[in-house]
């Protein structure tokens, strides 16, 4: 049986032709091609035109791959063997058309796959380059904008402390509101950039969960009342007082969701709910919900609203650039959860997510009353003595504003230096209780100076508290400045109260 199949296969795919040494066809089985006996092989196909030269090029056998031959309208791709015999030359033609076609298809597929892979690599590199450029632009944009913002906010705060007419006060309030809006917008853009680049890291610490709820209740009850809305906070009594997690990012998520609800609710109410889903060991899962009676969101738009710079058409009259929910989405994912939404047009929306938090084994301890009174007395005594502060800042506007803020408090003597190269000399000549120093200075940087000061062999100089101020708000940069020896870092623009709190922390 096998011999039969073998014969059938050979009959279909092989042709044998016997020619003499002059190329005259002696015999042909004509399996593939019709070749007449007594004809010249050189006349049958152009491939054999140089048969004589071909014959002289080998001694016994010759194999040639991938020879294209045609018979009428049929194209064949063949391998041809030449073998010298006593009575002439035997030509064996092997039809390998399907093999070469498959090989070519496979090779083409591989080439296309390789090209596609190269295109993906190119596109990824292009995307990475665009992202790198975008984030570098955002970082530079943020840095360049923070100094003038610091000036505007501080000047308006100083003006608010002067005698103004009622109309001047109203105009000043408009300016202050605009400054705050610009600051929040800048922080939102920075948050989006940090989330997209993976530079935003969670800082899990123990915090008072109930105080966070109280802050939200107080803040948004007043905001809702000002907008003619009702606000309700429903807090599960089973929730512990303290929790371990990133309080700042949780607060950022909740305030963005609540601000969004306020923005798009014209009448009715807003409800904030925190519910304990389950608790095991020192871990718990909490559901946070923000519901409103606002305009609602259609099903087809519910995914789009979580994209950066996206707003729905019917909300165009509202302020904002569509970053709040994109930040919420990014932060909730970073915290290991997923923001979800149920909504109905003209009836309202509910945003919710389930978050894993830890319950610390040791609760936050309150300081004893006697110790608190003693600490207060020490600070009061220190406040009566003027402290020496070195202010290192090259921007004259920031210099003026910070100097006025510090001098007006009546608690400090302030020296000013605008050149980083003169700081060490000044520190050696004068004993300072505190240094306030910008990171970006002429001739050197504030963090480099902080490293040099920490390496001083003189204890009083080595241990002097350093408050860094910077327009670089990226967390990685701030962590680097702290590692270099700064005690704390304030990102511009900061308020008078933030500066005062930082100073009081280190001057006793």
Domains of the chain from N-terminus onward: 2-95 (3.30.450.20), 101-197 (1.10.287.130), 205-358 (3.30.565.10), 369-506 (3.40.50.2300)
Q: Provide the whole-model pTM.
A: 0.51
Residues, the chain, total? 508
Q: Name the residue with higher pLDDT: 405 or 353.
A: 353
Determine contact, residues 478/489, Cβ cutoff 8 Å.
yes
pLDDT of residue 308: 53
> Which residues are CB-contacts of 203 (< 8 A; sequence separation ≥ 6)?
246, 248
281 token code pair: 């060991």
pLDDT for residue 160 is more than 90: no
Q: Is the pLDDT of residue 317 over 50?
A: no
Work out the percent of the chain whose per-residue pLDDT is above 90: 20
Count Cα atoms within 13 angstroms, Cβ side, for 198: 2
128/173 Cα distance (integer angstroms) = 43
Q: What are phi and psi of 82, to 5 degrees?
A: -110, 130
What are the Cα distances from residue 120, in Å, to 7, 124, 129, 248, 308? 50, 6, 14, 38, 24
Q: What is the pLDDT of residues 249-304, one digit of tens each?
A: 898 899 889 988 998 899 999 999 999 999 888 899 999 999 999 888 888 777 77
Burial of 225 (0-12, 13-18, 19+ CB in 10 A): exposed
pLDDT at residue number 284: 93
Q: How far apart are CA 39 and CA 212, in angstroms?
A: 103
- pLDDT surpassing 90 at residue 312: no
Give the residue-averaged pLDDT of 85-98.
88
Q: Give the pair of three-digit tokens for residue 204.
A: 């899990």
Task: Report the range of poorest mean pLDDT among 4-8, 175-179, 313-317, 443-447.
Answer: 313-317
Give the pLDDT score at 500.
87
Q: Is residue 379 predicted with pLDDT exceeding 60?
A: no
Question: Is the pLDDT confidence value at 118 over 60?
Answer: yes
In this predicted model, which residue has the larger pLDDT, 136 or 224? 224
- As a whole number of angstroms, the distance between CA 257 and CA 326 comes to 11
Comparing 37-46, 54-63, 101-110, 353-362, the range with the smallest average pLDDT is 101-110
């Amino acid at each position: 049986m096998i011999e039969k199949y073998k014969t059938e296969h050979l009959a279909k795919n092989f042709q044998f032709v016997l020619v003499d040494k002059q190329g005259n066809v002696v015999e042909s089985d004509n399996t593939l091609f019709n070749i007449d006996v007594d004809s010249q092989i050189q006349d049958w196909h152009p491939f054999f035109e140089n048969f004589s030269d071909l014959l002289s090029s080998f001694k016994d056998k010759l194999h040639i791959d991938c020879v294209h031959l045609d018979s009428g309208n049929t194209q064949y791709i063949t391998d041809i063997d030449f073998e010298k015999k006593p009575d002439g030359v035997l030509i064996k033609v092997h039809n390998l058309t399907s093999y070469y076609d498959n090989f070519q298809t496979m090779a083409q597929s591989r080439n296309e796959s390789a090209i596609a892979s190269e295109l993906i690599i190119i596109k990824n590199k292009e995307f990475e380059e665009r992202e790198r450029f975008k984030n570098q632009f955002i970082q530079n944009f943020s840095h360049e904008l923070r100094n003038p913002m610091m000036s505007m906010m501080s000047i308006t705060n100083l003006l608010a402390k002067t005698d103004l007419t009622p109309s001047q006060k109203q105009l000043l309030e408009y300016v202050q509101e605009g400054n705050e809006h610009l600051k929040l917008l800048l922080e939102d853009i920075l948050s989006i950039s940090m989330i997209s680049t993976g530079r935003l890291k969670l800082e899990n610490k123990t915090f008072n969960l109930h105080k966070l709820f109280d802050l939200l209740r107080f803040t948004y009850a007043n905001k809702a009342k000002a907008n003619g809305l009702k606000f309700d906070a429903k807090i599960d009594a089973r929730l512990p007082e303290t929790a371990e997690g990133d309080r700042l990012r949780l607060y950022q998520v909740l305030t963005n969701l609540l601000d969004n609800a306020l923005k798009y609710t014209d009448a009715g109410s807003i409800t904030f709910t925190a519910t304990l889903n389950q608790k095991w060991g020192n871990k718990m899962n909490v559901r946070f919900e923000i519901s409103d009676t606002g305009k609602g969101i259609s099903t087809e738009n519910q995914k789009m609203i979580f994209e950066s710079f996206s707003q729905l058409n019917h909300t165009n009259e509202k302020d904002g650039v569509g970053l709040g929910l994109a930040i919420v989405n990014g932060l909730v994912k970073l915290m290991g959860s997923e923001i979800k939404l149920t909504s109905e047009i003209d009836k309202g929306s509910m945003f919710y997510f389930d978050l894993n938090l830890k319950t610390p084994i040791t609760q936050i301890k309150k300081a004893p009353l006697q110790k608190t009174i003693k600490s207060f007395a020490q600070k009061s005594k220190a406040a009566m003595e003027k402290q020496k502060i070195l202010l290192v800042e090259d921007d004259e506007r920031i210099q003026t504003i910070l100097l006025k803020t510090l001098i007006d408090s009546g608690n400090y003597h302030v020296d000013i230096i605008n050149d980083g190269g003169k700081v060490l000399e000044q520190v050696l000549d004068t004993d300072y209780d505190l240094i306030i120093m910008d990171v970006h200075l002429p001739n050197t940087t504030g963090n480099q100076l902080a490293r040099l000061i920490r390496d001083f062999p003189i204890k009083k100089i080595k241990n002097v508290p350093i408050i860094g101020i910077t327009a670089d708000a990226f967390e990685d940069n701030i962590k680097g400045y702290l590692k270099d020896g700064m005690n704390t870092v304030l990102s511009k623009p900061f308020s008078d109260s933030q500066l005062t709190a930082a100073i009081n922390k280190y001057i006793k």
